[in-house]
Amino acid sequence: MHTLVAGGAGFIGSHLCDKLLALGHRVTAVDNLLTGSIDNIKHLLDNKDFQFIRHDVVESAPVLGGLDAIFHLASPASPVGYWTYPLETMLVNSTGTHNLLKLAAATGAKYLLTSTSEAYGDPLEHPQKESYRGNVNPVGPRSCYDEGKRYAEALSTLYVEKYGVDGRIVRIFNTYGPRNNPEDGRMVPNFVTQALTGKPVTIYGDGNQSRSLCYVSDMVEGLIKTMMTKEARGQVINLGNPDERTVLQVAMLIRELIGSSSPVEFLAGREEEVYRRCPDITRARQVLNWEPAVLLRDGLIKTVDWIREQLAITAANK
Ligand code: NAD
Ligand code: UDP
């Protein structure tokens, strides 16, 4: 099976490439390295079943024949990422998505769009089911990402319904683990780096806002199941871990696991903060027979080990 991973040098995309290769796929990763890194896939570059193409999918789809599946993960994902690259975010989710859909239609490859829990905005329904239509500000600070993904969902649905693409949409909820770029400002890499280096652990607002964190190996397994399950065609499926915690609880757990005495510092809240987020994964359980298996504590320990290693590498290179 020949599988394209757009965004394959990113955090989740690189783990997906690893897993697909382990399952016997031939994998082509396409990435313009906007928010990803060649370091995430350098261990794969000598693998004869793997090729990397540095390419911007906004310009065109990569020219590839004999394709069986297309995973579309190309997009900045963290608030800091899409605030740094708002136009690139809107373009990759609109034109980039269109290019990949045309490739799917032309080759007959199965297609999967990674959308986001941000499609629900600051939700008024809790936990969030796929049927919930969201509470999104179209001109707010997160709109380049939220509306970009909502457009990508609409376009993908059109290609499934009108142009016969064998497609499906996954709404990913907060995912963490090794290779989550420590510079991209997300909660887990920020707290772990701060706790490891003795710096204050920065909480935006009062820390009572919640998130539900999914370990990356669970996410990758869910993405592959969604692609491979026939009944997922044309569906929107939430993937995430419903183990909901407040941001302050996550910060305290990370400090405890590291044995850190970093102080906790409360800073101004983010503008238009999402106050609660937790997936209802009934559909994933029913359609895919999937649910996350990695406990938060275990996933965090692996993430801490990886970030500790990265900090040591950086220190040695100074
Ligand atoms: P990431 O930034 O690490 O990976 C995205 C990859 O896409 C990067 O390698 C980037 O260079 C690449 N990319 C961006 N624009 C591109 C373009 N025009 N052409 C080619 N490549 C391009 O982020 P991630 O966390 O791995 O997220 C992967 C996908 O999952 C994204 O689509 C994101 O919206 C979605 N998602 C992630 C999370 C999460 O918690 N990590 C949550 C919800 C949704
Ligand atoms: N957050 C925080 N301190 C940080 C980074 C993030 O308090 O150093 C909070 C942020 O305000 C949000 C949650 O952690 O409530 C998750 O933020 P992240 O950037 O990881 O992604 P989001 O879920 O908001 O897209």
- Residue 98: CB atoms within 10 A of its CB come to 19
Any ligand 1 atom below 6 A from CB of 232: no
Tokens of 291: 């649910």
In DSSP terms, which residues pair with 215 in a beta bridge?
Answer: 176
Per-residue pLDDT of the chain (318 residues; tens, 9 = 90+): 999 999 999 999 999 999 999 999 999 999 999 999 999 999 999 999 999 999 999 999 998 879 999 999 999 999 999 999 999 999 999 999 999 999 999 999 999 999 999 999 999 999 999 999 999 999 999 999 999 999 999 999 999 999 999 999 999 999 999 999 999 999 999 999 999 999 999 999 999 999 999 999 999 999 999 999 999 999 999 999 999 999 999 999 999 999 999 999 999 999 999 999 999 999 999 999 999 999 999 999 999 999 999 999 988 998
Can you list the positions of beta strands (E) in the chain? 2-6, 26-31, 50-54, 69-72, 110-116, 167-172, 175-176, 201-204, 210-212, 214-215, 236-239, 244-246, 264-267
Q: Which of 82, 111, 145, 215 is catalytic?
A: 145
Residue nearest to atom 29 of ligand 1 (CA): 73
Q: Is the peptide bond before 127 cis (omega within 30 degrees of 0)?
A: yes
145 assigned to active site: yes
Give backbone dihedrals phi and psi of 193, rounded to 5 degrees, phi first: -65, -45
The residue to mutate among 174, 204, 266, 300, having the most atoms of ligand 2 within 8 angstroms of its beta carbon, is: 204
